[in-house]
Amino acid sequence: MSAEEFTSLIAEISFVLLAILSIVRAVRHPRITKIHTSAFFSLAGLIILVSWGRDLGWLPQENEPLTTLVQILLISLPYPLLRLAGDFTGIRMIARRAAEAALLVSTVAIAASGSPLPTWVVLFVVTYFVATTTYASWMFMHAAVTMRGVSQLRMSFAAAGSLSLALLILDVGVMTFVESSVLSALSNLTMLAAGVFYYIAFAMPQWLKRLVHTSHLERFIRLSVEAAPGIIRGDSTFEMLESAVAYAMGTPHARVALWDADMGELWSPTLGGRHPLLVNPHSTVPYRGFQEQRAIFSEDAGADDLDNAEIYDGMVLLTAPVTLDNHRYGMLTAFGGPPPFLHTDDLQLLQVMADQVAVILRDRELLQEVSAARAREETMKLMDDFFAAVAHDLKTPLTTILGQGQRLQRQIRRGQELDTDAIESIVQQAVHMRRLVEDLLDDARERGQYTGDVAPVDLHELLRDLAVHAPSGHHEIVVEGESAIAPVDEARMRQVFINLLENAVKYSPDGGRIVLRAQPVESFVCVSVSDQGIGIPPGDLETIFQRFSRGSREPDRRFSGLGLGLYTCRRIVEEHGGHIEVQSRPGEGSTFTVRVPSEVGAISRKGGYAEARSGD
C-alpha cells in the first residue's frame, strides 16, 4: 500500500468511525445538534462505504445510478454541516435558504446530466460546496472566539475540519479539469486533515481532553486559592471561583448554589439569594442533582425538564454536587446558551472543581466553629474578670467599714470616746460603695436614660463644693475659673465630676496637684479636671470611654476599678448634648474636659460625642 493510499485509508476510517459514533449518540440522546452531526457523518460514511464496496468488487464499478447517488450524497454534505454550525452560533435564514436552493439546483442538475457531468454543473456544484463549507468553517470559528475551555478547542477543530473539507472539494474540482500528481497528493492530505480535525472535534481523545482539563484545572486551583481566604472569612462572594469554573467549562455562566436546609432550597450567595434556575421547587436540574447527589449533564435543559422549560431557554447545563464526607453543601452548576460544545464526560472536570469548592466550604465551616468557640470563651473570661473586679471593689471598702465598725464597737464596750476618724472613714467607704453599685445599676439600665430633669446650675460652684468634700486628703485640689451656668441634671453632672476627680486622685501620686476649672466659652460651659498623674498611653485614648474598658498598662490594673466610670460620664455628658475629651501625656498627667451647652435649647440627647487626643 502506497503512502497516499495509507493516508486516504486513515481519513476514511476516521470518517466511518465518526459516523457510527454520532449515530449511536443521536439514538441515545436525540438532540438537534446530535441529529445534525450524525446526518453529516452518516453521509460521509456512506460515500466511503460505497467506495470500499466498489474497490472490493461488491458493488459495480460502472453503474450510472449508483454514481449519480454518490454524487448527490456528496453534494448534500455541506448542508447538515451548515445546520450544525448554526446550532452553536445561530444561522441567518437567508444563508440557510440560499444553501437549500443551491442544494436543490445541484441535485436536479446532477440527476438530469448523467456522467460525465457537464463543465457548468461541475463549476456550480464545486462553488456551492466550497462556499457552504467555508461559511460553516467561519461560523465555527466565530463560535470558538466566544467560548472557552474544551468547547473552544472543539469548535476550533470543527472549523479547521470544515476548511480542510472545502479545500478538498476545491482540489477535486480542479482535478476534473487538470491532471496533476501534486493535486492528487493534496486531496489525500486535505482529506486526512479533515478526518483528523473532525475526529478531535467530535470524538476528542481522552489524553487530549485530559491535557486541556489539566491546564484549566490548574488555573481554577490557582484562582480558588486566591478566592478561598475571602470565602472562608465570609466577606467575599463566590464570583471569582464561579468565573474560573465558567472559563474552564467553556460555559457563559457558573454558579455555586448553597443548600438552605430550613427553606429546603438552593440559593446563590453571589446573586444574594434565589435564582430561578436553582430554587424552583423540587424539579430544576440542579435541584434534582442535589437530591440524587449526582452530576448531571443536560445538553438541552429545557427538553430534559419540560415543567421549567421557560427558565432554561435552550441552554446547556452541567451540575455537580458540592459534597464532602457526606456533608451536602450544595451544587456547582455551569450553564448558558448558545449551547457550548460539551459532552457527558466533561462532568468529570466539573466534579473535581465542585470537590474543591466543598473543601473551601468545609474550611469556612471549621473557621466559623472555631471563632464561635473563641467568642464563647472570651465572653466567659470577660464575665469572670468582671465578677472578680466587682468582688474586689466591694470587698476593699467593706473591709475598711468592718474594721472601723469593730473598732467603734470596742470603744463603745469600753466606754471610750468614739473615734470620729473611724466614723468619717466608714461614711467615705459607704459612699464609695454606693457609687460602685450606682455605676452597676446605671450600666444594667444601659438602654434607659441617664439624665432626668435639667435646671440651671453654676458648675463653678459645683466644683468648689466637690473640692471641699474631696475623696483625698493627700492631694492639693484647687478650683479655678469663673461662674459658669448651664442647664444640667445636677445629680448626674455631680456624678461626672466626682468620677473624674476620683480618677485624678486614683491615678496621681500623693501630693499631686489637681486643678478643677469651670468657665463659659461661647455657647458652652467648659469644665476641666487636670492632674499630674501617670497619664494615659496614646493607644488607650480611643478606648477608655468604652464600656468595661480599663487601661492596658500593668500599673492601671493595680488600681481598683470596673472600667465603667468614663463610659458613664460620656453617656451623661452626651445626653446633655455635650461632649467629653481627654488630653494626656504618659508620666506628666491628664486633662479631661467636659463641654455642655449653656442654653437649654441646645441640648440634644443624641448630639454629643467623645473625643480623645494625645497631648503633645
**Shortest distance in whole angstroms from residue 559 CB to ligand ADP:** 7
- Residue type at position 99: A
Distance set, CA 214 to CA 111, 207, 245, 249, 317 (Å): 52, 10, 13, 12, 21
Cell 435639667 found at = 454
Closer Cβ to ligand ADP, 15 or 507, answer by number: 507
Return phi, psi of residue 531, to 5°: -130, 170
For residue 592, give Cα distances in angstroms to 131, 243, 562, 602. Answer: 90, 55, 19, 22
Q: Please, which residue, 454 or 479, has the CB nearer to ligand ADP?
A: 479
Identify the residue among 340, 563, 577, 597 touching ligand ADP (CB under 6 A): 563
| Nearest distance from C-beta of residue 561 to ligand ADP, angstroms | 2
- For ligand ADP, the binding residue among 337, 551, 577, 578 (CB under 6 A) is 551
User: CB of 374: closest distance to ligand ADP in angstroms?
Assistant: 25
* C-beta closer to ligand ADP: residue 565 or 577: 565
Our finding on whether 544 is near ligand ADP (CB under 6 A) is yes
Q: What's 593's DSSP letter?
A: E
Q: Is residue 337 within the footprint of ligand ADP (CB under 6 A)? A: no
Applying CB under 6 A, does 442 fall inside the site for ligand ADP? no
Give the one residue of 139, 501, 562, 603 binding ligand ADP; rule: CB under 6 A. 562
Residue type, 310: E
512 binds ligand ADP (CB under 6 A): no
CB of 339 or CB of 535, closer to ligand ADP = 535
d(CA 356, CA 242) in angstroms, rounded, equals 12
Rounded distance between C-alpha atoms, residue 493 and residue 490, angstroms: 5
Q: Interface residues for ligand ADP in 75-94 (CB under 6 A)?
A: none
Q: Name which of 27, 257, 44 is nearest 165 in CA terms.
A: 44
Q: Does 533 bind ligand ADP (CB under 6 A)?
A: yes
Segment (H or E) for 216 = helix 206-233
Determine which residue in the list 38, 503, 593, 598 makes contact with ligand ADP, applying CB under 6 A.
503
Q: Measure the CA angle with vertex 420, ends 414 and 424; round to 5°.
A: 130
Could you give phi then psi for residue 296, rounded to 5 degrees?
A: -130, 135
Torsion of CA 463, 464, 470, 472, to 10 degrees: 100
572 binds ligand ADP (CB under 6 A): no
Distance CA 520, CA 459 (A): 10
Distance, in Å, from the CA atom of 525 to the CA atom of 533, rounded to the nearest integer, reads 25
Within 10 angstroms of residue 432's Cβ, the number of other Cβ atoms is: 19
One of 172, 534, 572, 610 touching ligand ADP (CB under 6 A): 534
Q: Residue 462 CB, nearest distance to ligand ADP (Å)? A: 19
Stretch that binds ligand ADP, among 171-179, 461-469, 483-491, 531-539 (CB under 6 A): 531-539
In this complex, which beta carbon is closest to ligand ADP, that of residue 77 or of residue 504?
504
Which cell goes with 427? 461614711
* Residue 550 is a binding residue for ligand ADP (CB under 6 A): yes
Amino acid at 102: A
Q: Is 591 in the site for ligand ADP (CB under 6 A)?
A: no
> Any contact of residue 498 with ligand ADP (CB under 6 A)?
no
CA 210 to chain CA centroid, Å, is: 29
Question: Is residue 397 a contact point for ligand ADP (CB under 6 A)?
Answer: no
Q: Which residues contact 557 (CB under 8 A, 6 or more apart)?
A: 550, 551
Per DSSP bridges, beta strands 327-336 and 455-458 are unpaired
Residue 379 CB, nearest approach to ligand ADP (Å): 20
Does 504 participate in binding ligand ADP (rule CB under 6 A)?
Answer: yes
- Using CB under 6 A as the binding rule, whether residue 581 contacts ligand ADP is answered as no
Cβ-based nearer residue to ligand ADP, 393 or 575: 393
Binding mask of the shown chain, residues 248 to 287, with x at each position contacting ligand ADP by CB under 6 A: ----------------------------------------
Applying CB under 6 A, among 161, 471, 481, 561 the residue interacting with ligand ADP is 561
**Does the footprint of ligand ADP cover residue 507 (CB under 6 A)?**
yes
**Residue 94 CB neighbours (<10 A):** 8
Residues that bind ligand ADP (CB under 6 A): 503-504, 507, 531, 533-536, 544, 550-551, 556, 561-567, 590
